[in-house]
Structure 1
Amino acid sequence: MIQEIRISDLGVITRATLPLGPGLSVVTGETGAGKTMVVTALGLLLGRRADAGAVRRGAKQAVAEATVLLPADSPVLTRAEEAGAIIERLEDGAELMLTRILSAEGRSRAVVGGRGAPVGLLVELGEDLVAVHGQTDQLRLKETSAQRASLDKFGGPKLAAALRAHSDCFDRWAAVRKELENLLTASRDRLREAEGLQAALEEIDAAEPQPAEDETLKAEAQKLSNVEGLRSAAALAHDALAGEEYDAGPTVVALVETARRALEHVQNDDPELKSLADRLGEIGFLVSDVSTELASYGSDLDTEGPERLAAIEERRADLNRLIRKYAPSIDEVLAWAENARARLEELEGDDGRIESLQAESLKLQAELEVLGAKLTKLRTAAGTDLAKRVTAELAALAMPDAKFVVELSPLAEPARHGRDGIALLLQPHAGAAPRPLGKGASGGELSRVMLALEVVLAAVDPVPTFVFDEVDAGVGGKAAVEIGKRLAMLARHVQVIVVTHLPQVAAYADRHIRVIKNSDATAADGAGFTASDVVLLDEGQRVRELARMLAGQEESGTAQAHAEELLADAQKLVASLS
């Protein structure tokens, strides 16, 4: 809801503040006073195209500002915060400031929540904030998707449940079709991939590599490549420990035994020496064991000759071929093979998956047909009801021969929202062909059509604020009273702002704002000036303004009496709506 609009140097308005609120607010004034500048200011705040000619003569810029009150969960707040807006949180909602500045040179900028923003953000936020219906404004329900959404909301919970069921089924069907299409279009690629994997696995399986085999063989090959050096070192070490001939002197075994015996004679005299003697005995056994193993090692080297080294190098060559093709090591080759085997099983199972998906697709398609038919039936009933109600409203709005039509047409392909194309049409008079909204009707007629439609949809598909610019153009008398009634009815659900010249409409307002024009043609330069002011009227001022609108004589007692009667009748109706 728009709490307040502030305008500076826009058209004939120098500076004005429009205090708004819930319910119905009307803006009146003499022709040329600047009433439409209110709608122009709203247009700027909704991101519409800016015209530098709207800047007041002599001013550097025009400014339109609005304070908007929104519920805490409004998507408008979420989007504004994402754009960096500063929002004032209240106990029961939040307050958002919108500003549009238009320079005399034609430059335009927007401010949302105290932060500079692209004008496109105002357009985006405005779609969820305000619907403007005027002589030249775009229709809120111009797009087919918006018309369909409004009809579906009008259809109530039963239609909503049918739409959800259809949407869920369509989503499953679309997912199945996508997977099936991917499998079918990629069949040749999958076949080539499967053949490649099969050949690779056959090569790896034929080689029968073992975990870490490449590292094991590398170590063994290095050992056999230096067999003479290893044999010589082992023999020398064996001789040093326990050999019969050792040029450097006594062997280690002999020296250890000599030391042990030296202590053996006195070990009973000192426990510490006995411990040392025992440890020498253990060293002697350990040296003997190592000596024996060295002798065995040398013997084994004699049995492993060039033949074994050749076999190892041949095996290593086989393993290196696998490593070059598939992975940096044999362990990684084995891991690759395991993954490839799983992928091959998946590829070989695609034929069965294709058959399963084809069957599922047919089943879901049949289910969509049933759900789509149910949705069409509910929409047809809702469309008939909507058309009947809007047509009745049009008759009361001085369009007795007009007929509102909701047309359903089958789509070539099923869609997530069903298989129905939705079009809202107007048959302006008997014998004429129904045409899309916005075609074949004057601006005043179109505004009344939209008023009738919004009144019917108000309880199920509202936006927070509706603005009607001279919705009563071309009507008067009883029809004007009916327009006022319907605006009051709409205002029970949403905020309504109306620019009007009819007292029958203005009488239904919850608040009445008058635009007053002041002019002076006696300026020294001959140019003169015109300026307008905006005033919120009290009860007495309302009576005089209605009298002016009725008879052009705001001080006339007869006109004021008629104005008071209008107000009393309107207030009775408004009270009955509450």
Structure 2
Amino acid sequence: MLEELRITGLGVIEDTILPLSAGMNVITGETGAGKTMVVTGLGLLFGGRADAGRVRADPGRAVVEGRLRLVEPAATAVHTRIADAGGEVDDDGSVLLSRAVTAEGRSRAHVGGRSMPIAMLSEVGDQVVAVHGQSDQLRLLRPAEQRAALDRFAGPEHEKLLETLREAYAQWRRVCDDLADRRRNARERNQEADLLRLGLDEITRVDPQPGEDEELKAEAQRLEHAEGLRTAAQTAQQCVAGGAEPTDETPDATALLGLARRTLEAQAGVDRVLGDLSARLEEAATLVGDVAAELSAYLAGLDADPARLQTVYERRAALRALTRKYADDVDGVIAWADRARTRLSDLDTSDELLDELDRERQRLAGQVAELAARLSAARREAAGRFADQVTVELAGLAMPHARIELAVLPRPAGRGEPTVTVDGVETAVGPDGADEVELRLMAHPGAPSLPLQRGASGGELSRVMLAIEVVFAGSGGPPTLVFDEVDAGVGGQAAVEIGRRLARLARSHQVLVVTHLPQVAAFADRHLVVAKDTGGAVTTSGVRVVEDTDRARELARMLAGLPDSDLGIAHAEELLAVAARERRP
């Protein structure tokens, strides 16, 4: 849950702290006091779009900070993601989040004490909070959103089936596009393939080997300077191991090291230091002997053959001809050849390949059709359950005769989308299946079943939205739910029922409600009031928690606009008592 929210420099809010509790939190206040800024701040904190026009001129920077404490199952996934990104979770399991926006529109985010991309706040927000407002009601009117809502309700197995369909659909469309492109651009493909084959033939004739150009360069240098190398190696060998005709006047290094070692060894019994030095000379003699052997092998392998040098020159010329055309070095030429072979397979327009692709296209089309049929059946089953549960909730929201229907219909063909045959009917299909989903409302018995956007008033739409959220809450979802005046256009008994349903949600979720209805506010576990101060040169707002008498005065203000009216306070206290009884399990 979100334990605390601090907002600075946002709209009319100069600097305020909202202490939030588990259960149901309501936020009330006069029109224009800044209730909407609280929801705006929540949106910013969880990665929403920043509007620089909301930033107060003084100090020219808006900051929203929040302390988030999670419980399982959300805690592990969120904490792991934050730790992977370099953030830190406090010892008590809470995480600090912050978002800063300047008047120039620049934005920065911090998660767990570390600077993070704004997208990280969005990732956290997707898992811990769901915000519902008037815009969400409008979004619910879109058929695609209604289908997505049904898919979420259907459960994890349904989601797996949907993901399988999406993968099969993507593979099917790739094969279809590949086949169409090969047929449509056969001439261009054949011309490109001919050029690639010419290059591959030339490279194949030369047959370059990895690193061959560098090896030939080194060999050419040795052959060109063979005499100088031979002289240097012979001289060094004579110095360390003696030549073919050694003389007493020029003793070699091996002999001198041997003499030195034996001389010291003879005195090792007198002084152990000379014995240690004698051992080290023996190691040096061994090393010099190894060098002498390697010099001998080097001389034996040193080649001064002019014919070999000419062969090396010719081979290097052939490799340079390739590097001038295809890459900077031999390894690059080999890589070009590998890419060319891969590209040739992509350019293939042979009848055999086209027939094979066509068979694969038909196989995948059948797979997509079969998965789409299974998905349609699953949606129809889930639609019945979903509609029944939402209808039950509407009965408790002062719409006892209303009924929700969720129609799952085949997507009509002929709109430019690919088609498959599903249950014997040619149907347009997309990555989400072959269905159109339409949420309908029958306002009362005998009334026509109309699409939600045509059959529901503003107040009815608010109640349908809340009923859907109550149904979703039974299946889990984010631990924190925010409702921004979803009770607009509602009053009387319906308002009491909305408060009761929100209180029920608060048993399993943290609920934040921005409301203008006292019937809803009375059900809160914590009541916060946004108060406007116009005493200074600039209007500002702050937030305070109200309890007991102050809470009754606020409800009296909401009821009749008279916070000091004895009759209004008495009515408010009665409303609080009723709500307290209703909140008991």
TM-score after normalising by structure 1: 0.61
Change (3 A) 1:117 1:150: same
Does residue 570 in structure 1 map to residue 570 in structure 2?
no
Q: Secondary structure at the match of 1:148?
A: helix
Q: Secondary structure at the match of 1:21?
A: coil
Shift of 1:420: 1.9
Instruction: Tell me the amino acid that sits aligned with residue 100 of structure 1.
Output: A
Match of 2:472 among 444, 457, 463: 457
Change (3 A) 1:176 1:12: closer
CA contact 1:544–1:554 (8 Å) conserved in 2:
yes
CA contact 1:372–1:418 (8 Å) conserved in 2:
yes
Instruction: Tell me the amino acid that sits aligned with residue 530 of structure 2.
Output: V
Aligned to 1:406: 406
Change (3 A) 1:535 1:179: same
Per-residue Cα deviation, 1:137-164 (whole angstroms, up to 9, x for no partner): 6756576554433211211245334324
Instruction: Tell me the amino acid that sits aligned with residue 18 of structure 2.
Output: L
What is the RMSD computed on CA atoms of the aligned residues? Answer: 5.2
Does residue 377 in structure 1 map to residue 377 in structure 2?
yes
CA contact 2:496–2:520 (8 Å) conserved in 1:
yes
Shift of 1:178: 5.1
Instruction: Tell me the amino acid that sits aligned with residue 109 of structure 2.
Output: V
Flag structure 1 segments of 5+ consecutive residues without an equivalent.
212-318, 521-526
Aligned to 1:167: 166
The equivalences for 1:5-404 within 5 A come to 5-45=5-45, 46-48=47-49, 50=51, 52=53, 55=56, 62-70=62-70, 71-74=74-77, 78=81, 87-90=87-90, 93-101=93-101, 103=103, 107=105, 109-113=107-111, 126=125, 129-135=128-134, 141=140, 146-177=145-176, 180-181=179-180, 184=183, 188=187, 351-399=351-399, 404=404
Instruction: Tell me the amino acid that sits aligned with residue 39 of structure 2.
Output: V
Q: Secondary structure at the match of 1:25?
A: strand
**Partners in 2 of 1:404 and 1:87 — Cα distance?**
45
Aligned to 2:513: 498
Change (3 A) 1:109 1:181: same
Change (3 A) 1:42 1:72: closer
**Partners in 2 of 1:481 and 1:27 — Cα distance?**
17
Per-residue Cα deviation, 1:408-452 (whole angstroms, up to 9, x for no partner): 444443223212233446677886784565x78665554333222
CA contact 1:444–1:470 (8 Å) conserved in 2:
no
**Partners in 1 of 2:187 and 2:365 — Cα distance?**
27
Q: Secondary structure at the match of 1:387?
A: helix
Shift of 1:376: 0.9
Q: Secondary structure at the match of 2:523?
A: coil
Q: Name the % identity.
A: 43
Instruction: Tell me the amino acid that sits aligned with residue 167 of structure 1.
Output: R
CA contact 1:130–1:464 (8 Å) conserved in 2:
yes
The equivalences for 1:478-493 within 5 A come to 478-493=493-508
Match of 2:492 among 477, 485, 504: 477
Per-residue Cα deviation, 1:274-331 (whole angstroms, up to 9, x for no partner): xxxxxxxxxxxxxxxxxxxxxxxxxxxxxxxxxxxxxxxxxxxxx9999999899xxx
Shift of 1:369: 1.6
**Partners in 1 of 2:35 and 2:194 — Cα distance?**
79
CA contact 2:68–2:95 (8 Å) conserved in 1:
yes
**Partners in 1 of 2:508 and 2:525 — Cα distance?**
14
**Partners in 2 of 1:53 and 1:163 — Cα distance?**
40
**Partners in 2 of 1:364 and 1:68 — Cα distance?**
46
CA contact 1:88–1:94 (8 Å) conserved in 2:
no
Flag structure 2 segments of 5+ consecutive residues without an equivalent.
210-314, 325-329, 412-416, 419-428
CA contact 1:47–1:120 (8 Å) conserved in 2:
no
Aligned to 1:242: none
Shift of 1:547: 5.2
Max Rg structure: 1
Shift of 1:24: 1.3
Change (3 A) 1:180 1:508: same
TM-score after normalising by structure 2: 0.60
**Partners in 2 of 1:120 and 1:204 — Cα distance?**
49
Q: Secondary structure at the match of 1:88?
A: coil
Change (3 A) 1:126 1:89: closer
Shift of 1:460: 3.5
Instruction: Tell me the amino acid that sits aligned with residue 496 of structure 1.
Output: V
Shift of 1:379: 0.9
Shift of 1:396: 3.6
Shift of 1:383: 2.3
Instruction: Tell me the amino acid that sits aligned with residue 422 of structure 1.
Output: V
Q: Secondary structure at the match of 2:390?
A: helix
**Partners in 1 of 2:544 and 2:451 — Cα distance?**
41
**Partners in 1 of 2:114 and 2:550 — Cα distance?**
39
**Partners in 2 of 1:23 and 1:451 — Cα distance?**
17
CA contact 1:110–1:122 (8 Å) conserved in 2:
no
